[in-house]
Structure 1
Amino acid sequence: MKKILLFADPGIDDSIAIIYALLNPEIEVVGIVSSYGNVDKKQATENVAYLLELANKTDIPIIGGTTRPFSGEIPTFYPEIHGPEGLGPIVPPENIAGELLNFTEIFNIIDQNPGLTIVDVGRNTSLATAVILSDDLSEKVKEFYIMGGAFLVPGNVTPYAEANFYGDPVASSLVFDSLKNITVIPLNVSNNSIVTKQHVATIQESTQNPLIDILDEVMDYYINAYKKLIPGLVGAPLHDVVTLSLLANPDMGRFIYRDVQIQQTGKTKGVSIADLRVKPEDTDKNVRIYLELDYPLFLEDFIRVMSTKIPTE
């Protein structure tokens, strides 16, 4: 079983990733770091708390992450994609707000869980802050899974850059320059993790639990938003879910090892760069980059995990 500390900014795809992680018997979520990104930190925290309430997992700690990038700029949010509250049409009940623990709780969780995996599916500001505050993060954490980047494929927030790296390229650059054992899941892979309304219907017909009861409303909103962005698309890509799916099923895609750099300014702000020329594999390079996805296996895994009952202690 993989114990994970999840950094997220839910957001629809982050929220579905949280649901996937809570339902997957191969994953144990030991904490969630709530930060700005798709929505502001306050709304992200309310969404996390709501999902944990639905899952009857309120014992999972929520740690307060960052509110803006290292540049100090006011973040841009995306209600047209994620809805005004980050969960499409769903508004979490006002009595569910979530109790945030101090950021330093991250280091207690790491110390209490040897062999921990950190998964960051949002802006990298909070993870970079942990890097700054710790001088041995790579030694204490087994591996880091990061959703972000686009290698020689178009971006999704600019013609060149993916949203997470673009949101705070200084933080992303610090993370890739400082940490070891990084696996990155870029748009090359995540753009292909398409889930349709029919897939959601199949899941809902297979199981009943409060987490899955909201899935159709959330995904309908997300799919309709993507139809406006990409005419002809029949579903929506679940960028953050496929990151967790590859964590649980590392042979589900093809990867290479390379060094990665993040551009920080100008027209190429947020662009991820790696030498992708064909060459003998070099596992001494810092980053494992997934470039291809076995889509049928991903879909099978997603439907299977999401169709399971909420695990009970």
Structure 2
Amino acid sequence: MKKIILFADPGIDDSIAIMYALMHPQIEVLAIVSSYGNVTKQKAVDNAAFLLNKAGFSSIPMIGGTNSPLSGETPEYYPEIHGPDGLGPLTPPPFKGRLNNFSDLYDILHAHTDVTIVDIGRNTALAHLFLLGSDIEPHIKDIFLMGGAFLVPGNVTPSAEANFFGDPVAANIVLQRATTIYIIPLNVTSKAVITPHHIQQITAYSSHPLVPIIKELMDYYTEAYQTLIPGIKGAPLHDVLTLYLMVNPGKGRYVRRSVSVLVEGEGKGTSIADFRPGSRSKPGDPAICLEFDVQAFIDDFIFTISSSPISTRAHLKREDRS
């Protein structure tokens, strides 16, 4: 069982990742930290709370993250991808519950062993966890980051991926302070494409209350991606892949390299690592994912989200899932 603290900025992709984490039998979500990113912090909180309530997990601590990057710049949002409220065609009600204090994260870390932190949004709140706390590294087993783009173009600038671009100062703080980091970058997450056919397979075999929400979100998300990238068959689930590789480390191939992020100029948000022949890693360098088993990811997503008995899932033949 993987015990995780999930930092997110839901957002459609983040929202599907939250549902995946809640439904996965090998993941226990200890807390969700919601911050600005794809949407404002308030909308991110509303969206996460809506999903927790629908899934019957409203007891999971909701922690308010950050409102803006460490630079103080006004965040840029992406309604053309995620919709005006972050959940595509859905408008969740305002969150009326209690947000836990950010300091509660330290209590959670000290109360559990082998906690994994998964950050699938801007790294601002995670950087604050290190800046405001002391001696927390021994309580963190691993950190998985969805961020960066190595050896491929970016998705918000010619060279930068959205999460690192959104707060490169915070990304550098996390990369410098933590020693057990796994980076799941755009060069692999862009291949984690889930198609309408895959969603059709899930809806055919599942009556889970979250599945209709996932279908609505994926329909909207796929249409948005097909507008951006003509010819793409579905939409890439960048954040779900990060969680998948956290649970299934053997399904990815990694190389360890020192990583830094440019903080200004035309290259702002660009992730830098040395992949030249003969380059070497140092102890504590992040592990950068370069490849993963695409079909295994698709199979796992279908099985996890379908939430069906094994006997029913057996009818999902490989040729139906590909």
TM bucket (normalised to shorter chain) is over 0.9
Contact 1:45 1:97 (8 Å CA) reproduced: no
Are 1:232 and 2:231 matched, yes or no?
yes
**Could you tell me which residue of structure 1 aligns to residue 91 of structure 2?**
91
3-state DSSP class of the match of 2:254?
strand
- What does residue range 91-240 of structure 1 map to in structure 2 within 5 Å? 91-94=91-94, 96-240=95-239
Shift of 1:98: 4.0
Figure out how many residues of one structure are paired with residues of the other and give that number.
309
Q: Distance in 1 between matches of 2:295 and 2:125?
A: 33
Q: Following TM superposition, by how much is the alpha carbon of 1:135 offset from its aligned partner in structure 2, in angstroms?
A: 2.3
Instruction: Note if contact 2:118-2:145 (Cα within 8 Å) is conserved in structure 1.
Output: yes
1: CA distance, partners of 2:43 / 2:96: 9
Would the aligned equivalents of 2:179 and 2:284 in 1 still touch at CA under 8 Å? no
Question: How big is the shift at 1:209?
Answer: 1.5
Partner of 1:60 in structure 2? 60
- Judged with a 3 Å threshold, the aligned counterparts in structure 2 of structure 1 residues 98 and 210 are, in CA distance, closer, same or farther, namely farther
Residue 168 (structure 1) shift: 0.4
Preserved contact between residue 137 and residue 179 of structure 1 (Cα < 8 Å):
no
| TM superposition shift of 1:204 | 1.1
The Cα of 1:242 is off from its aligned counterpart by: 0.1
| CA–CA separation in structure 2 for the residues paired with 1:3 and 1:116 | 5
Relative to the length of structure 1, the TM-score reads 0.96
Tell me the TM-score normalized by structure 2: 0.93
Matched, 1:72 2:72: yes
Whether the aligned pair in 2 keeps the contact of 1:45 and 1:98 (CA below 8 Å) is no
Show the counterpart of 2:318.
Answer: none
Letter in 2 for 1:82: H
For each residue in 1:201-239, what CA deviation from the matched residue of structure 2 results, as whole angstroms up to 9, or x when unmatched?
Answer: 111111112111211111111011111111111101000
CA distance in 2, matches of 1:291, 1:73: 32
Alpha-carbon distance change, 248 to 93 in structure 1, aligned in 2, over 3 angstroms = same
Q: Structure 1: which 5+ runs fail to align?
A: none
Report what 2:46 is aligned to: 46
Which sits farther off after the overlay, 270-279 or 123-132?
270-279
- Verify the 8 A CA contact 1:30 1:61 in the aligned structure 2: yes
Q: Which moved more, 1:201-210 or 1:125-134?
A: 201-210
* CA distance in 2 between partners of 1:192 and 1:278 (Å): 25
| Cα deviation 1:226-257 (Å, max 9, x = unaligned) | 11111111101000000000001111111111
Partner of 1:290: 289
User: How far did residue 285 of structure 1 move?
Assistant: 4.3
CA contact (8 A) 1:3 1:27 kept: yes
Q: CA deviation at 1:281?
A: 6.6
Structure 1 vs Structure 2: percent identity of aligned residues? 52
Q: Distance between the aligned counterparts of 2:90 and 2:298, measured in 1?
A: 25
| Cα drift, residue 97 of structure 1 | 3.8
Runs of 5+ in structure 2 lacking a partner? 310-322
Equivalent residue, structure 2, for 1:13: 13
Amino acid at match of 1:118: I
For 2:319, the equivalent position in structure 1 comes to none
Contact 1:46–1:98 under 8 Å retained in 2: no
- CA spacing shift, 1:283–1:302, aligned 2, 3 Å: farther
CA distance in 1, matches of 2:255, 2:136: 24
* CA–CA distance in structure 2, aligned partners of residues 246 and 73 of structure 1: 32
Measured in 2, the distance between the counterparts of 1:280 and 1:228 equals: 39
SS at match of 2:109: helix
User: How much does 1:289 deviate?
Assistant: 0.5
> AA paired with 1:153?
V
Matches within 5 A, 1:247-266: 247-266=246-265
Aligned-CA RMSD value: 1.4
Q: Quote how far apart the aligned CAs of 1:309 are.
A: 5.7
| Cα distance in structure 1, aligned partners of 2:141 and 2:292 | 23
Match of 2:314 in 1: none
Structure 1 stretches of at least 4 aligned residues deviating more than 3 Å after TM superposition: 278-283
Residue 21 of structure 1 aligns with an amino acid whose one-letter code is A
Equivalent residue of 1:267, what SS?
A: coil
Residue by residue, what CA displacement relative to the aligned partner does 1:98-135 show, whole Å, maximum 9, x if unpaired? 42111101111111111100000000000001110122
| Letter in structure 1 aligned against 2:36 | Y
